[in-house]
């Protein structure tokens, strides 16, 4: 009997090959031929699942984004389903657990961050990638916004903060940390990134 191939699994396999090519050679080298070679597939097999490179790149971008955000959402659900701590340090620690999933703190997340940045830069001028980038922005905004709402609901935040403004500031902190940790790992370690994130969240709370 002929071997039955699961189409979704095969598409994910090809996406993983895209990520490997981008990590090692950059997005400009992620041609269908190079990706097929990295996946151990014939070029025709890749074309069976993706009509062209643009379709493959958009799919891979969305897979990369989904993997990152699903982990963060799992952590976020744990936070939202538990009673909110009334101790500031404990609250910050629980929020950090969620937001750390968006930072390149280990080899896997660092590799994902490299791929994510390459896609984001390519999306600046790429049609289909622009739509994927907008969806990625929304996914990040949803995670960060819900963390900010948890901080607000705790009653521990200082002053009368505007949720959208605080979410935008927090996203800027996360983006800045990610860029520095990927591009300057010798200067910006995982420990430093975690400490900076904690300090920022702590600064939002009343003394």
Count the neighbouring beta carbons within 10 Å of the beta carbon of residue 34. 16
**Domains in the chain with CATH codes:** 1-51 (1.10.10.60), 65-203 (1.10.357.10)
DSSP string, 1-28: -PPP--HHHHHHHHHHHHHHHHHHH-GG
**In which element (H, E) is residue 157 found?**
none
Residues β-bridged to residue 157: 205
Can you give the pLDDT at residue 4? 53
Gap between the Cα atoms of 113 and 176, Å rounded = 12
Please state the pTM of the whole predicted model: 0.92
Q: What is the pLDDT of residue 1?
A: 43
Which pLDDT belongs to residue 42?
A: 93
pLDDT beneath 70: ranges in the chain: 1-5
Amino acid 125: pLDDT? 87
Query: How do residues 4-33 score in pLDDT, each as one tens digit?
Result: 567 888 999 999 999 999 999 999 999 999
pLDDT at 50: 93
């Amino acid at each position: 009997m002929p071997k039955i191939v699961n189409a979704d699994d095969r598409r994910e396999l090809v996406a993983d090959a895209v990520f490997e090519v981008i990590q090692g050679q950059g997005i400009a080298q992620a041609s269908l031929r190079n990706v097929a070679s990295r996946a151990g597939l014939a070029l025709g097999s890749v074309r069976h699942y993706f009509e062209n490179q643009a379709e493959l790149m958009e799919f891979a971008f969305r897979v990369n984004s989904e993997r990152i955000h699903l982990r963060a959402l799992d952590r976020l659900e744990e936070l939202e389903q538990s009673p909110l701590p009334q101790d500031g340090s404990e609250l910050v620690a629980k929020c950090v657990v969620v937001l750390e999933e968006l930072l390149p703190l280990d080899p896997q997340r660092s590799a994902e961050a490299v791929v994510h940045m390459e896609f984001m830069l390519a999306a600046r001028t790429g049609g289909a990638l622009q739509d994927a980038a907008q969806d990625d922005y929304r996914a990040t905004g949803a995670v960060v916004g819900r963390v900010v709402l948890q901080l607000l609901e705790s009653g521990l935040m200082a002053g009368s903060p505007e949720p959208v403004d605080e979410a935008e500031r927090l996203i800027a902190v996360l983006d800045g940390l990610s860029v520095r940790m990927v591009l300057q790992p010798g200067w910006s370690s995982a420990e430093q990134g975690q400490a900076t994130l904690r300090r920022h969240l702590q600064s939002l709370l009343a003394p």
